[in-house]
Amino acid sequence: MERDGRDVGFVGLGLMGAPMAANLLNAGWAVTAWNRSPGALDRFAGLGGGRVAGVEELRDIPVIIFMLPDLSYIEDAAAGLLTAWTAKPPAAGTAVVVMSSVSPAAVQEFGAAVDRASGGNAVVVDAPVSGGTQGAADGTLAIMAGASEGDFKRLQPLFAAMGSTVRRLGPLGAGSLAKACNQLIVGTTTAALAEAAELAERSGLDVAALYEVLAGGLAGSRVLDNVGPRLAARNYEPTGPAKFMHKDLSFVLESAAAVRSAVPMAAAGVELYAELLRQGLGDRDLAVVRQTISNLSDNTAAKTN
């Protein structure tokens, strides 16, 4: 099939992927999607998007975006695609864009696997995002790309349809490292805000009032603005499952070990979010880390009584 360069495949129509793919449609891209559950595909088709029964059917599309929970999911979904490319290589310049939060080292290995399977005709670009479901819906995501300068320039119009802050950080893997740094800040800041909320409330302070005054000083941040209201209200309806923060902070530890960089905050964060998972709270919103801290506080109080 003859392509005009405005065709894109999209794998994964979850909380983030669905609005991102919809924004591509709205920007004039012809988007063909695959998703494990058919309901999301039905809704996407209702917006004018295309659909396929298997990822391998996207083999002739020049750009294929993956937005799945982790690289293992991407590797499983892409297995048939790589087999098809091994039998018949894709057109030169085909791009596989990993927009999930993944390991910087592992995405480089995936890039090598795609290079081998495609006969050198396909390249992997990592371009994870930050901004949550609201940023995905508004098309205002921050996009952190790891790519050659040429590949990044070629993909910029695509990224511009989904994000308002788009930067190339370096070669493949650099985008994922930048996202790991982002998650280090978001995860530990959210945890600190949760600790402050629990300490304040147990001491008789109004958490919403505390956050209001903090927002006017040096402690003010986008994390406080976005997550603070959910922390104060104990609203844990998921905008993004908390379980992924443990995974992302683990990538920080992995990357830090490779360059011998001390990351004590990330190490503490990994332990805290591991406790969150042990408490069975991983499918709730990131703000549920406050409940984790509350449960730890209750356990501590019980041991001292």
How would DSSP label each residue in 109-166? HHHHHHHHHTTT-EEEEE--EESHHHHHHHT-EEEEEES-HHHHHHHHHHHHTTEEEE
Q: Are 5 and 60 contacting, i.e. CB atoms less than 8 angstroms apart?
A: no
Coil/strand/helix, residue 51: strand
Query: Can you read off the two tokens belonging to residue 89?
Result: 């290589």
How many whole angstroms separate alpha carbon 206 and alpha carbon 199?
Answer: 11
Give me the residues paired with residue 10 across strands. 33, 65
Residue 144, C-beta contacts closer than 8 angstroms, at least 6 positions apart:
127, 128, 129, 130, 167, 169, 174, 175, 176, 178, 179, 182
Q: Is 179 a catalytic residue?
A: yes
How many whole angstroms separate alpha carbon 194 and alpha carbon 292?
Answer: 9
Q: Are 224 and 216 contacting, i.e. CB atoms less than 8 angstroms apart?
A: no
What CA–CA distances, in Å, run from 105 to 125, 174, 303? 13, 10, 42
How many whole angstroms separate alpha carbon 20 and alpha carbon 92?
Answer: 26
Give the active site residue among 179, 243, 247, 303: 179
Q: Are 127 and 98 contacting, i.e. CB atoms less than 8 angstroms apart?
A: yes
Eight-state DSSP code of residue 285 = B
Q: Are 55 and 78 contacting, i.e. CB atoms less than 8 angstroms apart?
A: yes
Catalytic positions are 179
